[in-house]
Structure 1
Amino acid sequence: MIDDLDFISTCDVPGPTKENIRAIILYKSEVTSDETVVDIGCGTGGITCEFAQRAKKVISIDKNPEAINITKKNLNKFNLENNVDLICNDGINALKNIEDIDIGVVGGSGRELEKILELLDSKLKPNGRIIITAILVDTKVEAVNKLKDLGYNPKFVEVNISKGRILDRGIMMTSENPIAIITAKKRG
């Protein structure tokens, strides 16, 4: 796993997704070295970089040109650019031109989550997986409901990581943002 502090980041682009969260996403994804992963809303590229080390191909999408630029810098920093395609576009338009997806990760949907999930479902291979990270309660509910409508049996875990910082008189725990990780597997 790449340490959070090793990533290039900026105030204008969300991320990177915290290391502990990335670890859970990777575990839940069951990614193999012959699979294609699509990262929608890649931000600074934390999830992209982790999958680039493990998957055959990663396609990272973000409509923010600065996010694509930062992701590219992080991929170069960690020498992971060889199997990653970067697309500066919104998720819906980008997905229209992508086929045979093994894993779709949705970290940002630009208020188009339902349409993105419909497209992902139509492009996902049998036994393909969808992973959604959500901070807003509304997004969590929308994701679960849409996955159920599409015939999936979504799994849901809420994660809240706290890290300790040693002070003179003890250890202070600092909570990082709670996030839901919603996973679903397409029936084969």
Structure 2
Amino acid sequence: MFKDTDFIKSCDVPGPTKEAIRAIILYKSDVSPTDKVVDCGCGTGGITCEFAKRAGEVISIDTNPEAIEITSKNLEKFGLGDNVKLINDDGANALKDIDGIDIAIVGGSGRQLENILDIVHEKLNSKGRIIITAILVDTKVEAINKLKSLGYNPQIMEVNVSNGRVLDRGILMISENPIAIMTAQKR
């Protein structure tokens, strides 16, 4: 796993997804070296970099050109990217040209979550997996309801990671951003 502090960051681009969250996403994805992974809303590329080490092909999408640029720099920094395609476009539009998806990770949807999930559902291979991360309660409810309407049996996990800092008088625990990780597998 890459350390959070190793990533190139920007004030204008979200990320990277925290190391502990990336670890859970990797575990839940059950990624294999032959999998085709789509990272929709890649931000600074934290998830893209982790999957680039483990999957056969990674396609990362973001509407923000700066996010694509920073993801590219992070891939280069870690010596990755030969198996990664970066697309500067909105998720729904970019997904229309991608077939045979084994794992779809949706971290940013630009208010198009239901549309993106409809397209992912059509493009997902048999036994393919969907992973959605969300911090807004409304997005969590929208994701779960949409997955159910598509015939999935979604699971949801709320994660709140706290890291400690040792002080003279004790240990201060500092909470990282809480996030929900929703997973579903095509039947």
Give the TM-score normalised by structure 2.
1.00
Which digits, 9 at most, give the CA deviation of each residue in 1:3-27, with x for residues without a partner? Answer: 0000000100000000000000000
Percent of pairs with identical residues: 71
Distance 1:165 1:126 in 2: 45
1:168 Cα offset (Å): 1.1
The 3-state SS of whatever aligns with 1:58 is: strand
Aligned twin of 1:163: 163
Using the alignment, how far apart are the partners of 1:155 and 1:133 within structure 2?
12
| Residues in 1 aligned to 2:47 and 2:7: alpha-carbon distance in whole angstroms | 11
Unpaired runs of at least 5, structure 2: none
Residue 11 of structure 2 corresponds to which residue in structure 1? 11
Paired positions, count: 187
Q: What SS does the aligned partner of 1:82 have? A: coil
Q: How is 1:7-86 mapped onto 2 (pairs within 5 angstroms)?
A: 7-86=7-86
1:113 equivalent to 2:87? Answer: no
The aligned residue for residue 151 of structure 1 is 151
Cα distance in 1, alignment partners of residues 43 and 186 from structure 2: 26
Q: Partners in 2 of 1:166 and 1:57 — Cα distance? A: 41
Displacement of 1:90: 0.2
Q: Distance in 2 between matches of 1:86 and 1:168?
A: 46
Q: Deviations over 1:15-45 (max 9, x none)?
A: 0000000000000000000000000000000
**Distance (whole Å) between structure 1 residues aligned to residue 63 and residue 177 of structure 2:** 23
In structure 1, C-alpha distance between the alignment counterparts of 2:163 and 2:113, rounded to whole Å: 31
Report the Cα distance in structure 1 between the residues aligned to 2:120 and 2:171, rounded to whole angstroms.
44
- Cα deviation 1:56-111 (Å, max 9, x = unaligned): 00000001000000000000000111100000000011000000000000000000
Structure 2 CA distance for aligned equivalents of residues 168 and 50 of structure 1? 36
1:181 matched residue in structure 2: 181
Structure 1 SS opposite 2:121: helix
Could you report, residue by residue, the CA deviation over 1:105-153 in whole angstroms, capped at 9, with x for unpaired residues?
A: 0000000000000000000000000000000000000000000000000
Task: Tell me which amino acid in the other structure corresponds to 2:158.
Answer: E
Query: Which runs of 5 or more structure 1 residues have no equivalent in the other structure?
Result: none
- The TM-score with structure 1 as length reference comes to 0.99
Find runs of 4+ consecutive structure 1 residues off by over 6 angstroms.
none
Cα RMSD after superposing both structures? 0.3
